[in-house]
A and B are shown apart, each in its own frame.
Chain A
Amino acid sequence: GQNIDQPTEMTATEGAIVQINCTYQTSGFNGLFWYQQHAGEAPTFLSYNVLDGLEEKGRFSSFLSRSKGYSYLLLKELQMKDSASYLCAVRDSGDTGRRALTFGSGTRLQVQP
C-alpha cells in the first residue's frame, strides 16, 4: 500500500520562498506528482519527478529523493494567487497493472501580504 504525509497547513509572506515537504512509504514507485488546487476547482498539474534531483519550472521547483522517500515543492517569489492546497501524489509501479495515483491529504498554503 501507499502512505503519504505532508503538513496540513502552512503560512508564508508574499514575495518569500516556501518549501512544502512530502514523505512517502510505498510498495511500488513510478513517479511523484505535485498538484495545485484552488478552492472549488480541479487539481492543476505542477510537476512530475521520477528520477532523483531537482526539476525547475519557473517559480516552482520539485525535488525527489527515492532512497529517502522524500520530495519537496519549492515556491519562490510568492504571490497572493499561490494561496491554494498543494497535493503530493505517488504513482504505483504498475507491476500489478495498477498505475494510478495515491494522494496525500494536501497542504493548505496561505500567502499573507
Chain B
Amino acid sequence: SAVISQKPSRDICQRGTSLTIQCQVDSQVTMMFWYRQQPGQSLTLIATANQGSEATYESGFVIDKFPISRPNLTFSTLTVSNMSPEDSSIYLCSVVYRGGPYEQYFGPGTRLTVT
C-alpha cells in the first residue's frame, strides 16, 4: 500500500491568515486529490491536483480560496487562504498509484483549527 505523508499534521491558525499543506508520496501516482472532512461529516472532494497544470475544482470550491500545486508525480500542496472558523476541518490528500490496481489511499490528514 501507499506511504503518504502530510505536513503539518495539525495547526491552529488565526482568522485571515493562510496555511499551506504538503502531501508527499513514496512513489509515482497517477492521480492526487484533496478532500475535506468537517467535524462529524463525511469526506468532500475539493479538487483533483493535475501535474503541471491547474487543478480541477469541485462545485463550491475555487482556486482563489484553495490554490493547489502539483509540480511532479509525487508531491502536491493545498493552501487554505484567508481562513475563517468555517475552514476548521481535516484536510486529506489521496492518491491512486501509477500502474497498480485502481485502489485509492489517503494520507494521515491535517487537522486545522481556525480561531
Contacts and interface: CB of A to CB of B under 8 A. Distances in A.
Contacts of A87: 42-43
A42 B45 contact: no
Interface string A90-108: 0100000111111111100
Interface string A53-96: 00000000000000000000000000000000001010100000
B78 to A, nearest CB: 15
A29 B77 CA distance: 28
Contact of A42 (B31, B33, B103, B108): B108
B43 A103 contact: yes
Main secondary structure of the interface of B (DSSP, over half): strand
B42 A48 contact: no
A100 B106 CA distance: 13
Most chain A CB within a 10 A radius of its CB, from B1, B41, B58, B102? B102
B2 to A, nearest CB: 9
B67 interface: no
Contacts of A7: none
A97 B107 CA distance: 23
Interface band, chain A: 20 to 34
Contacts of B56: 97-98
A105 B107 contact: no
B106 to A, nearest CB: 5
Given A42-B92, A42-B109, A45-B1, A101 B42 contact: no
A24 interface: no
A34 to B, nearest CB: 11
B45 A45 contact: no
Contacts of A41: 108-109
Top 6 A-B residue pairs of the complex, sorted by shortest distance between their CB atoms: A103-B43, A42-B106, A103-B42, A42-B109, A105-B42, A43-B106
